[in-house]
Structure 1
């Protein structure tokens, strides 16, 4: 078994040149596509971000991938992201398919067991989110919602009418 620590200056020069050119190409494409492309708003956006990173790494390290091939792959990923986000803004069924919906996990001090199970979230995780929001007691919480990006939002209890702002969130309330 041979360990290779240095393939020669040519290999390093290729990585340096390809790295600069591929990085510049990626930045150009991202600027053209808009801010949404790299946002981590949901699982779909995260997948695209990881795929872009993987593609960039492949262009940098694989001698079998030409810069133009990598640029086309990056453009394809960014274009697909644009198409999916564009259609999800216009068609609710695509939005629901791609991003899911928020899900209520706790409502007025009561854990919603079926929602917790569906979201694969424990009561301890909900309690941790409540503490992180600066509240010490579940009774001080109107609701806890798992958002489409996986974060837990804590809605503080203020008045009896505050539940109207929770309309449209799945779960019993």
Structure 2
């Protein structure tokens, strides 16, 4: 019974340490990773796994190893932030794989990057014809960035000289899960009475609203618990 209790307590400790480390190291460690991020994540995960259930290893030894590795990761991240050469060494450089519609085979060979995978990533970018591509670049985190040739790019309002209303703010969430987000009202000098008037225009009560947001263009989007959709697409089966 003592072993079960020890594993349970070590697991709680491991979860807490991993959560603190993730907050400490930042969002980069949970996003698409560079070489260094990959190594750091794998090693931290291995240490945490052993801390959770490997009772043959002493807890304080694993805690020391974990803390030391997090500090090393933080130091390297800080060094990369301050020094371009260090950033280049640890993260690598982006690699051009397509230039003006031509595949650069030598660059792909250096990365052991196959044509099948290139085509897959191009399709994910809605590109089915390589001749449409001006540049395609493999970023340091492994993702593909595509710049199409001008004649294949989407038309935007600027191209058509259509007047655009400027947007100077991010959308502001007003109601989430039926609860008013008072902090957002205070930060943006909004009044609850204003929200009440917006609901009144739509013939709604606050109790009916699951989500409401003030868009950057000044329009208010409101979603209610009752969707009034008689035949929803892809409805989840009831348990």
Instruction: Report if TM-score (shorter chain) is over 0.5.
Output: yes
Unaligned segments of structure 1, at least 5 residues: 1-8, 160-173
Unaligned segments of structure 2, at least 5 residues: 152-239
1:102-113 alignment runs, 5 A limit: 102-113=94-105
- Checking the alignment, whether the CA contact within 8 Å between 1:102 and 1:148 is kept in structure 2 is yes
Change (3 A) 1:121 1:64: same
- Checking the alignment, whether the CA contact within 8 Å between 2:7 and 2:55 is kept in structure 1 is no
1:18-97 alignment runs, 5 A limit: 18-97=10-89
Residue 121 of structure 1 corresponds to: 113
Change (3 A) 1:14 1:89: same
Choose between structure 1 and 2: higher helix proportion. 1
Partner SS state of residue 150, structure 2: coil
Residue 123 of structure 2 corresponds to: 131
Larger radius of gyration: 2
Change (3 A) 1:34 1:18: same
Aligned residues: 151
Q: Displacement, 1:37?
A: 4.0
Change (3 A) 1:94 1:135: same
- Alignment TM-score, normalising by the size of structure 2: 0.58
If asked which structure has higher relative contact order (CA below 8 Å, sep 6+), I would say: 1
1:8-27 alignment runs, 5 A limit: 9-27=1-19
- Checking the alignment, whether the CA contact within 8 Å between 1:37 and 1:78 is kept in structure 2 is no
Q: Displacement, 1:20?
A: 0.8
Q: Displacement, 1:14?
A: 1.2
- Checking the alignment, whether the CA contact within 8 Å between 1:105 and 1:144 is kept in structure 2 is yes
- Alignment TM-score, normalising by the size of structure 1: 0.78
Residue 165 of structure 1 corresponds to: none
Per-residue Cα deviation, 1:80-123 (whole angstroms, up to 9, x for no partner):
11111111122222111111100000111101121111121122
RMSD: 1.8
Change (3 A) 1:103 1:24: same
